[in-house]
């Protein structure tokens, strides 16, 4: 389990996160949602170990600040929002960086190809990363991250930390990527994802944490947090949650929203 207690983070003297408590269980997909500037990305960056923090963060019971980079890399892999490369690399070379330390259980030579196939980029191994579109690059990075924690559970649960994994993808690949997250969780790993699309969040997350002004203001199942009053206040506009006639799945139509 990833657990953050009383998390305080300041950047350049400005408090970005205050007194945030957060937990991500293995076996489920935890989504972090909230308006722009609410601290979602800061939260996932802090959990990834990128920012100095007050409070405590534990990875499977170990304090993150006291873990060596190599120890943390055994337990979790991080997908950044976007990645630019300094040198022309082939797609295979980028994906192979994920297995550079041999942390993956599977050390077979085909792992990059299998990871690429998973993210619907079969046959892209020989292409240059710089020649791909933004969405394709994002999926190459996901393949790299998957290689790092190819086995979701290796003695202990491992985690995927995804910062807006679907923001530059078309709808088919949004579904593919979020299905990968579900499969990872189903196999015993944990997934934390910053998401913007509330409908995708409802469809794929087991647990939703809502961030607002640097605080975690709500947490629960998608059904529990998809409430008119809560969402309207957090996103600062009139939102009306709908429900499909054949089930409890809530949804949000932008057409019914009022600013």
- Which residues are part of a known binding site for ATP? 34-41
CA distance 23 to 104: 25
Q: 72 or 257, CB closer to other proteins? A: 72
CA distance 8 to 1: 20
List C-alpha distances in Å: 167 to 152, 159, 197, 202. 24, 20, 9, 16
Q: How many residues make contact with other proteins (CB under 8 A)?
A: 44
| Tokens coding 248 | 């409890």
Residues numbered 128 to 187 that lie near other proteins (CB under 8 A) are 128, 130, 148
Decide: is 36 part of the binding site for other proteins (CB under 8 A). Answer: no
Residues numbered 41 to 60 that lie near other proteins (CB under 8 A) are 45, 48-50, 52
Of 230, 82, 234, the closest CA to residue 250 belongs to 230
CA distance 259 to 150: 43
Q: How far is the CB of 150 from other proteins (least distance, A)?
A: 14
Q: Which of 28, 97, 132, 154 binds other proteins (CB under 8 A)?
A: 97
Q: 44 or 200, CB closer to other proteins? A: 44
Q: Which of 101, 107, 179, 240 binds other proteins (CB under 8 A)?
A: 101
Q: Are residues 95 and 117 in contact, defined by beta-carbon separation less than 8 angstroms?
A: no
Q: 88 or 248, CB closer to other proteins? A: 88
Q: 78 or 218, CB closer to other proteins? A: 78
Residue with tokens 């976007």: 82
Stretch that binds other proteins, among 58-66, 90-98, 188-196, 223-231 (CB under 8 A): 90-98
Q: Are residues 201 and 33 in contact, defined by beta-carbon separation less than 8 angstroms?
A: yes
CA distance 242 to 187: 32
Where on the chain is the footprint of other proteins (CB under 8 A)? Answer: 45, 48-50, 52, 68-74, 76-78, 80, 83-94, 96-98, 100-101, 103, 109-110, 112-113, 125-128, 130, 148
């Amino acid at each position: 389990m990833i657990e953050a207690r009383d998390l305080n983070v300041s950047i350049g003297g400005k408090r970005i996160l205050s007194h945030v408590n957060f937990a991500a269980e293995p076996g489920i997909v935890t989504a972090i949602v909230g308006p722009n500037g609410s601290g979602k990305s800061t939260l996932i960056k802090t959990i990834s170990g990128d920012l100095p923090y007050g409070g405590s963060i534990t990875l499977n019971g170990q304090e993150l600040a006291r873990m060596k980079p190599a120890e943390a890399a055994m337990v979790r892999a991080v997908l950044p929002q976007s990645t630019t490369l300094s040198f022309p690399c082939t797609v295979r070379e980028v994906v192979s960086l994920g297995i550079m330390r041999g942390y993956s259980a599977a050390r077979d030579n085909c792992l990059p190809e299998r990871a690429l196939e998973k993210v619907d980029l079969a046959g892209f191994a020989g292409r240059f990363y710089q020649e791909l579109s933004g969405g394709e690059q994002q999926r190459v990075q996901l393949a790299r991250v998957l290689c790092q924690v190819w086995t979701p559970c290796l003695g202990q649960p491992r985690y995927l930390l995804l910062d807006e994994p679907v923001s530059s993808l078309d709808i088919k690949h949004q579904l593919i990527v979020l299905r990968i997250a579900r499969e990872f969780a189903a196999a015993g790993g944990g997934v934390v994802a910053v998401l913007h699309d509330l409908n995708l969040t409802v469809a794929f997350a087991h647990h939703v944490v809502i961030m607002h002004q640097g605080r975690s203001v709500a947490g629960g199942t998608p059904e529990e947090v998809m409430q008119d009053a809560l969402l309207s206040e957090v996103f600062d506009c009139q939102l009306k949650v709908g429900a499909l006639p054949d089930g409890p799945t809530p949804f949000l139509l932008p057409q019914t929203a009022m600013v």
